[in-house]
Amino acid sequence: MAFRFGVVVFPGSNCEQDVQYALSYLGYEARYVWHQERQLHGFDALVLPGGFSYGDYLRCGAVARFSPVMDAVVSFAEAGGPVMGICNGFQILTEAHLLPGALLRNIGLKFLCQPVSLRVEQSVCLWTLPEDAGRVLRIPINHNEGNYICDADTLKALRANKQIVLRYVGDNDNDTGDDSGQLYQAPNGALDNIAGICNAAGNVFGLMPHPERVVDGISGCTDGRALFNSLVRRMVGVS
Amino acid sequence: MRHYDIYVTAKQGIFDPAGATAAAALDNLGFTGIEEVKIGKYIQLKTADEVGLEELTSMCEKLLANPVIEDFSIHADTA
């Protein structure tokens, strides 16, 4: 049976079809879950797609966090179920306290829509493979609030527990912020060049870039495949 | 009817680029001596009955503000 993803749709989500398409393209089953649902049955993993849930009113993700489906998403995550939040989905996961920190408005006050280079870090994340550590992926970003921030203690914990999954890097792979100092600054101003983090258990993963947009090759790159395939490979041993 | 004003601004230590930009623009216009501009949200709350500070604080902490990045203040309007 195909690995089954649930794609959680909020009013204002706008990347759910891209995610559904990308997952189907990769041979997985992907079903939409409307935000009014209170039960999540039969899913192997969940994806919270990008967009503007509830019009980004109040704060990005602040209202979606209280959608009826979110109690089930939290239970699924707490039971170890894999959850990926992309862009607005990442914002929702931080608002729901499934991931630490928050996403501020981009440092330059500009909406950013461009491909970026991301280094896969050695982390506890289920959505990457240990052998991919150090690999640089080209994946587009498309956001106004992607400037990751957290307090010093949280950053220390993220580093110590290997919860930093993806970092923005410059043209030179090593031209990046890491524990020793920051040479490159992410276009959105993200703290420590953080593009994606996971929870301590590694099953909940939030990232600002859109891997679903670089899966089928039509947009010039297929680097997004790695994240979805890695999870399935870890969960069922195939990819 | 009761009336409450809630102000939400970037937490101390969190950079507010919109505020910084406005501060620089004011300086360019010749308004000197500005130390800081903070741009935030103003939320007006109207209720039938009086609401305790504890409950208002809970509303802010749970939804109206994000304590990770924002400070809030609550002002009761007696008018």
Q: Hey, of A54, A57, A59, which one would you mutate to test binding to chain B, going by the most B CBs within 10 A of its CB? A: A59
Active site residue A210: yes
Cite the beta strand spans of chain A per DSSP E. Answer: 4-9, 29-34, 45-48, 83-86, 102-104, 112-120, 136-143, 147-149, 164-169, 194-198, 204-207
8 Å CB contact of B69 and A102: yes
Residue A85 has pLDDT above 90, yes or no: yes
Distance from CA of A115 to the nearest CA of B (A): 24
**Candidate from A167-171, A191-195, B60-64 with smallest mean pLDDT:** A167-171
The pLDDT of residue A172 = 63
Q: How far apart (Å, rounded) are the C-alpha atoms in residues A233 and A126?
A: 10
**Per the confidence metrics, is the pTM higher than 0.90?**
yes
Higher pLDDT, residue B79 or B32 = B32
8 Å CB contact of B18 and A94: no
Domain boundaries, chain A: 4-236
Q: Name beta bridge partners: A198.
A: A205
CB atoms within 10 A of CB A140: 17
Q: What is the DSSP string of A124-150?
A: S-TTS-GGGTT-EEEEEEEES--EEE-
Q: Residues 141-170, chain A: which have Cβ within 8 Å of B?
A: 149-151
H or E segment at B76? strand B70-77
Chain A residues closer than 8 Å to B61 by CB: none
8 Å CB contact of B63 and A66: yes
Q: How far apart (Å, rounded) are the C-alpha atoms in residues A5 and A235?
A: 12
% chain A with pLDDT above 70: 94
* CATH class of segment(s) A4-236: alpha beta
Structure tokens at B14: 């969190």
Active site residue A15: no
Give the model's confidence band at A239: pLDDT under 50 very low, under 70 low, under 90 confident, else very high: very low
H or E segment at A121? none
B2-77 — its CATH code?
A: 3.30.1280.10
Structure tokens at A68: 């009826």
Sign of CA dihedral A125, A131, A135, A137: negative
Active site residue A41: no
CA distances from B21 to A153, A215, B16, B24 (A): 29, 39, 9, 5
Distance from CA of A102 to the nearest CA of B (A): 7
CA distances from A17 to A32, A122, A237 (A): 9, 30, 27
CB of A68 closer than 8 Å to CB of A34: no
Chain B residues closer than 8 Å to A101 by CB: 68
Q: What is the mean pLDDT of residues A209-224?
A: 95
Nearest C-alpha in B relative to A104 = B69
Mean pLDDT of chain A: 93
Domain boundaries, chain B: 2-77
Instruction: Please pick, among A15, A87, A150, A198, the residue that the annotation labels catalytic.
Output: A87
Long-range contacts of B53-57 (CB under 8 A, 24+ apart): B56/B4, B56/B6
Place of tokens 């489906």: A69
